[in-house]
Amino acid sequence: MAKYIYPAVFTPEEGGKFSIDFPDIEGCYTCGDNLADGMEMAQDALAFMLTHLEDEKREIPMASSINAVTAEGEEFVTYISCDTTVYRRLMNRTAVKKTLSIPSWLNDSAVAAGLNFSQVLQDALKQQLNIL
């Protein structure tokens, strides 16, 4: 799990759309309805493919220099970055059951206040771990 940066080739399509290809990563391509959407989709596709390679314990290809990637016509090449640790966190919404103990008086007060114990614990853990 790491941060990665790879060059991507953006090919303009009709209607302002874009096709995006990562020459260094076999099978990694996507598209976007406009440039902003294409950038977002490219980051998602890159993170998805690299997470898959990590999970399969396959070798992560070296990224080419942006100058080594050729563009033709109206195509352009730009770097796309992703962080597979962040991607995993965003995509993994599996709940994990935890058993904990708190003083009875604290439980009674929290129940009376209508607090959601799971949400309070998540918020406290995020604060302790400095996760936004």
| Structural domain count, the chain | 2
Instruction: Please count the residues of the chain.
Output: 132
Instruction: Name which of 24-28, 76-80, 122-126 the model is least confident about.
Output: 122-126
- Regarding whether 28 and 43 lie in a shared domain, the answer is yes
Torsion of CA 6, 26, 74, 72, to 10 degrees: 110
Q: What is the pLDDT of residue 14?
A: 96
Range of the domain at 114: 95-132
Per-residue model confidence as pLDDT tens digits over 107-124:
999 999 999 998 999 899
Same domain? For 15 and 68 the reply is yes
Q: Is the pTM of this model over 0.75?
A: no
Measure Cα distances from 31 to 12, 45, 52, 86 in Å.
Answer: 10, 9, 19, 22
> Beta 18-21 vs 3-12: how paired, if at all?
antiparallel
Instruction: Give residue-wise pLDDT tens across range 88-112.
Output: 988 887 778 888 899 999 999 999 9
101 and 85 inside one domain: no
One domain, residues 33 and 45: yes
Residues 127 and 101 grouped into a single domain: yes
Domain CATH for 70: 3.30.160.250
Per the prediction, the chain carries an average pLDDT of 93
